[in-house]
Amino acid sequence: MKLAVPDLISNSYFPAVAAAELGFFKQEGLDVAIELIFPVDKAYAALRDGAVEFVGGSAHTVLAAFPQFEGAKLLCAQAQGMYWFLVMHKDLGVQRGDIAAVKGRRIGAAPWVEMGLRRLLVAAGVDPERDGVKIAPVPGSLAAGVNFGVTAAKALEERQIDGFWANGMGTEVAVRRGVGTVVLDVRRGDGPKGCFDYTFASIAATDRLIGGSPETAAAAVRAIARTLKALKADVSLATGVGRKLFPPTEAELIAELIRRDLPYYDAGISTQSIAGLEAFARDLGILKGDVPYERVVATQFAPLWR
């Protein structure tokens, strides 16, 4: 079986990757291989087309391949809250929380990931078109096998962009190299009210798999929940996974990034999270009306979240 993630050298979808590398999928009777498919909408297209059985990606992007959430559901969360950071070049002297600093600047952001930034900016009174904010993929990031966050950090260092909206690994690399300043960290309270619930990292599967093989879906949920519990008990497990899969620098950073994320490690999907996600999606025009919670989330697996 295959589980697609849109970024591998990252903390964003690390629980899914760790579930495979630490053997938790195998302990649940599943032979799961992780496949990097970027950008995230292509990962969900692969799910729709039957090329992969699961996607570990941003929850709102299910809508890229399954309009109105028809045909797929969220099985569980990998962690709570929108997990991307706004980072600006250090030379610009931007202070934490100064969202208006993006005006007239080039901001690198991946397809569908950029939606979180665009909506956040509007909520903060910044109109990207009016205020000259150029939000686009980082040069070279759309090639096969590229990991967006570390690519964004390199582009920032080379002044190809003025800032980026990306994962914690890219953020940490940029800050440690002395080229980036964190402007927004949504998970930890930055940004306009409600932006925490725009999206979250999830595990999704098709209705076809859930209906035809509910035991497979249940096993995947148990594996993720067990992975979150294991990392909470011993965060150093992350380093071992990183050393298998990441370049040396990023491998030594991952445990610290996961340690910071542990307070958000909860496989549950609340009605509040889905209400926030749906409001966000409606504002963007990628969802029409209200979709019942039970059509978005595979609620039969809720007892397994903990």
pLDDT at 213 over 80: yes
Decide if domain 85-196 falls under CATH 3.40.190.170.
no
Maximum CA pair distance of the chain? 55
Q: What's this model's pTM, rounded to 2 decimal places?
A: 0.96
What are the backbone dihedrals phi and psi of residue 267, each rounded to the nearest 5 degrees, phi first?
-80, -10
Q: Give 3-state DSSP helix, strand, coil % of the chain, rounded to 5.
A: 50, 15, 35
Within this chain, domains 2-81+199-304 and 85-196 share the same CATH topology = yes
Decide if domain 2-81+199-304 falls under CATH 1.10.3720.10.
no
Q: What is the pLDDT of residue 146?
A: 66
Q: How many CB atoms lie within 10 A of CB 275?
A: 14
Place of tokens 């032979």: 31
Cα(8)–Cα(34) distance, integer angstroms: 9
Annotated domain spans of the chain: 2-81+199-304, 85-196
Distance of CA 100 to the CA centre of its chain: 24
Residues in the chain: 306
Distance of CA 220 to the CA centre of its chain: 18
pLDDT at 43 over 80: yes
Q: What is the pLDDT of residue 143?
A: 65
Among 25-39, 139-153, 198-212, 275-289, name the one with the lowest average pLDDT. Answer: 139-153
Cα(162)–Cα(258) distance, integer angstroms: 27
CB 153 within 8 A of CB 177: yes
Q: What is the pLDDT of residues 134-152, one digit of tens each?
A: 999 988 776 656 678 889 9
CB 109 within 8 A of CB 117: yes
Place of tokens 């391949």: 65
